[in-house]
């Protein structure tokens, strides 16, 4: 295949990746309604966010805490451009371009500054820089709207009131939300495919070599500081795209949707439960995580009520919907324990050849 | 003819211990130099200083007449220095083919190629096949490097250096730990490389019969110092080797 030298291994895995992709492609028709479409869009965004993080974590073996910052740069780039310039595609393009430029420069600075020293220093610098960025974003009230963030209008075709066609298609009214969803989906697919191509390029293989054995990679003539820095920039660009698409979908940008530490943790969880170093893992991980995040509470609520009705002690409290994070954490620990290589690793364990 | 690799008063100390002590030596194209010496003599450390894995405390390293003392391993590799390591040093999770392909890729200077996927890089893949064939690993291309036997890992280690097509080859005990029937593949390969008069070969080797059959010159290290240097017959016969080297190692004449 032109895109990848390594298609996903194993039938179950291929079937799962195809099933999730198809479900996302047909989401507006399969799961009509406001909440399901929100969930589907979030799966797309997290799949891309996870895939771009995987380029760093799984391929280059680098731990970054600044990934959500680059996501935020994309979100704020598009959000503030639309807020300031009004709802036009020009503003979207400008915001995205500005976001990409800022992200790349930040990534370049972080990489060149920290990677000359040691990989652990890189991790600490990403933490420090993203913290500083968060403070800056909430302090620059006049620009970012501070803690309240900014709500903005999107180009007309993306607005909820917009009608694409008057009739319904397959029983679904096609309006601005559906168009927005497909913009998010297509955007994520295109950037995901670009990432897929990158990890399977000669450069991508060098990243894996550096992860496996930096000492040997240097002995072959690879200057690993530059490779790691380039990987940081590319991953940052991927996260910026994800952030921009997310802002367009939400029509809002603020610290809690663009910069929250919980997004960074969610990204890590997506990549780890999906399987590091595979890229496809991010699709499965995102689907699992976002669906769990959104429906675990409903499920727990049902269990809790049922337990309460049955007069069981303790259980209603344990399964209270507010405890969903506890259960998610538990599921995460179990997943890491029983499938350390993630879903992809667990499903493709068929031979002793390459991953 | 300018030496392809040369050291002048090269030294490194680890704390109080001088592991390589003011070694001046030059290696020329068309010459296979065996470097011998007891365990801990400083052979690997000397190699590391020349190929850039370690930085010298004092002294100079010249590669093709260029002072590379302050350059790192990647730059020296790009200038034509190839290294096979004593302790096998691979990319364990990658396939055998990918290990070698990383070397052909480096050789071709394909460092930051993002968009052209591997299947379109036939030439690099073909060269990787050739390197694997040279060490007899062509049947195990798709195996993970970590899953290979010790002997096969040693062969892969050598194949990666061959694929790099360096002008200076540095073998650090290439046959160590190999079973008897695996050794000839590597020795034949070195003998073949030797026929190319433009190549400089350095070989650290404990087995004296191997040294005798391949070396044009023997350099003896002892306690980090250059203890003897000359043609094989003279060096082997010299008292310092008889005593300091052959005397302490068991089974060296085997
Ligand atoms: N990084 C290091 N730090 C401290 N001491 C070191 C280091 N590397 C090597 N040495 C010491 O330098 C001396 C030379 O070691 P070296 O590995 O070069 O020997 P060698 O001749 O290759 O031995 P062998 O035949 O066992 O491979 C040894 O005493 C070793 O303990
Ligand atoms: Mg040694």
Domain B1-80+166-254 of CATH type 3.40.50.720: no
Give me Rg for the CA atoms of chain B.
18
Per-residue pLDDT reduced to its tens digit, B172-182:
999 888 888 88
Helix crossing, B96-107 with B122-134: angle to 10°?
Answer: 120
Q: Using a pLDDT cut of 70, give the percent of chain B over it.
A: 94
Q: Residue A301 pLDDT > 60, yes or no?
A: yes
Query: With 50 as the cut, is the pLDDT of residue A352 above it?
Result: no
Give B98-157 pLDDT, tens digit per residue.
999 999 999 988 888 887 766 667 888 999 999 999 999 999 999 999 999 999 999 999
- The count of other CB atoms within 10 Å of the CB of residue A201 is 23
Residue A198 contacts residue B118 (beta carbons within 8 Å): no
Query: How confident is the model over A241-279, as pLDDT tens digits?
Result: 999 999 999 999 999 999 998 899 999 999 998 889 889
Q: Which residues in chain B are closer than 8 Å to A205, comparing Cβ atoms?
A: 94, 98, 101-102, 105, 118
* Residue B252 near residue B207 (C-beta atoms within 8 A): yes
Does residue A231 sit at the B interface (CB-CB below 8 Å)?
no
Rounded Cα gap, residues B247 and B36, in angstroms: 13
CA–centroid distance, B15 to ligand 1, in Å, is: 13
Q: For the residues B89-106, what does the mean pLDDT come to? A: 94
Residue in A closest to B51 by C-alpha: A219
C-alpha to C-alpha distance for A63 and B52, rounded to whole angstroms: 27
Is residue A355's pLDDT more than 70? no
Q: Rounded mean pLDDT of A289-317?
A: 83
CA distance B44 to chain A (A): 14
Residues of A in contact with B113 (CB under 8 A): 201-203
- Establish if A191 touches chain B: CB-CB under 8 angstroms: no
Please provide residue A192's backbone torsions phi and psi, each rounded to the nearest 5 degrees: -60, -45
What are the structural domain ranges in chain A?
Answer: 11-353
How far is the C-alpha of B6 from the C-alpha of B50, rounded, in Å? 8
pLDDT tens-place string over residues B194-204: 998 899 999 99
Pairwise CB contact (< 8 Å): B119 & A212: no
Considering the segment(s) A11-353 as one domain, its CATH architecture is Orthogonal Bundle (1.10)
Q: Out of A50-64, A84-98, B57-71, B171-185, which region has the weakest mean confidence (pLDDT)?
A: B171-185
pLDDT at A2 over 50: no
Judge contact between A334 and A310, C-beta under 8 A: no
Structure token digits, residue A233: 């920039």
Give the distance from residue A307's alpha carbon to the nearest chain B alpha carbon, in angstroms.
48
pLDDT in tens, B215-235: 999 999 999 999 889 999 888
> Could you read off the pLDDT of A158-196 as tens digits, one per residue?
888 787 777 676 767 778 889 999 999 999 999 999 999
pLDDT of residue B117: 65
Residue-level pLDDT at B135: 92
Sketch the domain layout of chain B as residue ranges.
Answer: 1-80+166-254, 90-164
Going by pLDDT thresholds of 50, 70 and 90, the confidence category of residue A4 is low
Which pLDDT belongs to residue A7? 67
A115 confidence band (pLDDT: 50, 70, 90):
confident
A213 contacts B111? CB cut-off 8 A: no
Q: Count the Cβ atoms, other than its own, within 10 Å of residue B236.
A: 21
β-pairing verdict for B17-27 and B5-14: antiparallel
What pLDDT digit, counting tens, does each position of A202-249 carry? 999 999 999 999 999 999 999 999 999 999 999 999 999 999 999 999
**pLDDT confidence of residue A327:** 82
Q: Give the residue, A33 or B73, on which the prediction is more confident.
A: B73
Pocket (CB within 6 angstroms of ligand 1) = B 14, 19, 37, 39-45, 86
Q: Quote the pLDDT of residue B253.
A: 42
Contact A74, A144 (CB under 8 A): no
pLDDT at position B250:
44
Q: How far apart are CA A119 and CA B180, in angstroms?
A: 41
- Which chain A positions have a beta carbon within 8 Å of B152's beta carbon? none
B67-95 mean pLDDT: 94
Mean pLDDT calculated for residue range A315-334: 81
Q: Is residue B254's pLDDT more than 50? A: no
Instruction: Choose one of B44, B208, B211, B227 to mutate for the ligand 1 pocket test, by most ligand atoms within 8 angstroms of C-beta.
Output: B44
- Ligand 2 center to B154 CA (angstroms): 15
Interior CA angle at A216 toward A211 and A217, to 5°? 60
Higher pLDDT, A13 or B205: B205
**Rounded average pLDDT over A144-156:** 89
The predicted pLDDT at position A354 comes to 46
Mean pLDDT over all residues of chain A? 88
pLDDT(B210) > 70:
yes
A6-15's contacts with Cβ under 8 Å and 24+ in sequence apart are A6/A200, A6/A354, A8/A278, A8/A280, A8/A344, A8/A348, A9/A348, A9/A350, A10/A347, A10/A348, A10/A349, A10/A350, A12/A347, A13/A280, A13/A343, A13/A344, A13/A347, A13/A348
Average pLDDT over residues A290-316: 83
Residue B23 Cα to ligand 1 midpoint, Å, equals 15
CA–CA gap between residue A84 and residue B188 (Å, rounded)? 73
What is the phi/psi pair of residue B10, to 5°? -75, 130
Closest CA to A164 of A178, A146, A151, A153: A178
């Amino acid at each position: 295949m032109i895109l990848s030298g390594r298609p996903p291994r194993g039938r179950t895995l291929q079937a799962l990746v195809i099933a999730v992709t198809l479900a996302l492609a047909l989401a507006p028709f399969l799961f009509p309604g406001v909440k399901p479409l929100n969930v589907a869009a979030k799966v797309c965004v997290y799949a891309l966010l996870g895939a771009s993080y995987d380029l760093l974590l799984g391929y280059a073996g680098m731990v970054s805490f600044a990934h959500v910052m680059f996501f935020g740069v994309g979100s704020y780039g598009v959000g503030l451009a639309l807020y300031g310039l009004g709802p036009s595609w020009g503003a979207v393009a400008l915001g995205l371009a500005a976001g990409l430029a800022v992200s790349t420069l930040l990534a370049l600075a972080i990489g060149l500054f920290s990677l000359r020293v040691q990989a652990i220093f890189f991790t600490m610098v990403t933490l420090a820089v993203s913290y500083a960025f968060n403070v800056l974003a909430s302090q620059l009230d006049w620009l970012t709207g501070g803690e309240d963030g900014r709500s903005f209008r999107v180009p007309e075709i993306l607005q909820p009131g917009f009608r694409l066609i008057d009739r319904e298609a397959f029983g679904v009214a096609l309006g601005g939300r559906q168009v927005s969803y497909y913009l998010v989906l297509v955007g994520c697919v295109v950037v995901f495919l670009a990432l897929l191509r990158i990890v399977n390029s000669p450069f991508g293989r060098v990243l894996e070599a550096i992860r496996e054995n930096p000492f040997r990679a240097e002995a072959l003539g690879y200057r690993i500081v530059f490779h790691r820095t380039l990987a940081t920039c590319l991953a940052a660009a991927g996260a910026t795209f994800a952030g921009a698409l997310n802002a367009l979908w939400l029509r809002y940008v603020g610290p809690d949707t663009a910069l929250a530490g919980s997004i960074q943790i969610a990204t890590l969880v997506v990549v780890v439960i999906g399987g590091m170093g595979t890229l496809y893992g991010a699709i499965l991980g995102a689907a699992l995580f976002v669906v769990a995040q959104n429906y675990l509470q409903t499920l727990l609520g049902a269990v809790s009520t049922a337990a309460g009705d049955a007069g069981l002690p303790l259980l209603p409290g344990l399964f209270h919907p507010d405890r969903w994070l506890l259960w998610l954490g538990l599921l995460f620990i179990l997943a890491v324990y029983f499938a350390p290589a993630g879903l992809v690793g667990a499903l493709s364990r068929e031979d002793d050849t390459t991953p | 003819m300018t030496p392809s690799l040369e050291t002048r008063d090269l030294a490194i100390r680890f704390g109080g211990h001088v592991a390589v002590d003011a070694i001046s030596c030059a290696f020329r194209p068309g010459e296979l130099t065996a470097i011998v010496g007891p365990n801990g003599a400083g052979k690997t450390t000397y190699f590391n200083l020349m190929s850039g894995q370690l930085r010298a405390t004092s002294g100079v390293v010249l590669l093709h007449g260029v002072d590379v003392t302050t350059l790192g391993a990647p730059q020296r590799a790009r200038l034509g220095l190839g290294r096979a390591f004593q302790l096998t040093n691979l990319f364990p999770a990658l396939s055998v083919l990918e290990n070698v392909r990383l070397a052909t890729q480096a050789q071709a200077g394909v460092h930051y190629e993002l968009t052209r996927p591997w299947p379109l890089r036939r030439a690099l893949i073909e060269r990787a096949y050739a390197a694997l064939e040279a060490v007899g690993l062509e049947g195990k291309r798709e195996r993970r490097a970590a899953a290979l036997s010790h002997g096969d890992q040693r062969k892969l280690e050598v194949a990666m250096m061959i694929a790099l097509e360096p002008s200076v080859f540095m073998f650090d005990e290439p046959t160590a730990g190999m079973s008897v029937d695996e050794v000839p593949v590597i020795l034949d390969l070195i003998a073949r490389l030797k026929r190319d008069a433009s190549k400089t070969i350095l070989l650290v080797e404990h087995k004296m019969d191997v040294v005798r059959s391949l070396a044009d010159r023997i350099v003896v290290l002892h306690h980090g110092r250059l203890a003897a240097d000359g043609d094989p017959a003279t060096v082997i016969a010299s008292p310092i080797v008889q005593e300091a080297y052959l005397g302490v190692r068991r089974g060296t004449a085997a």
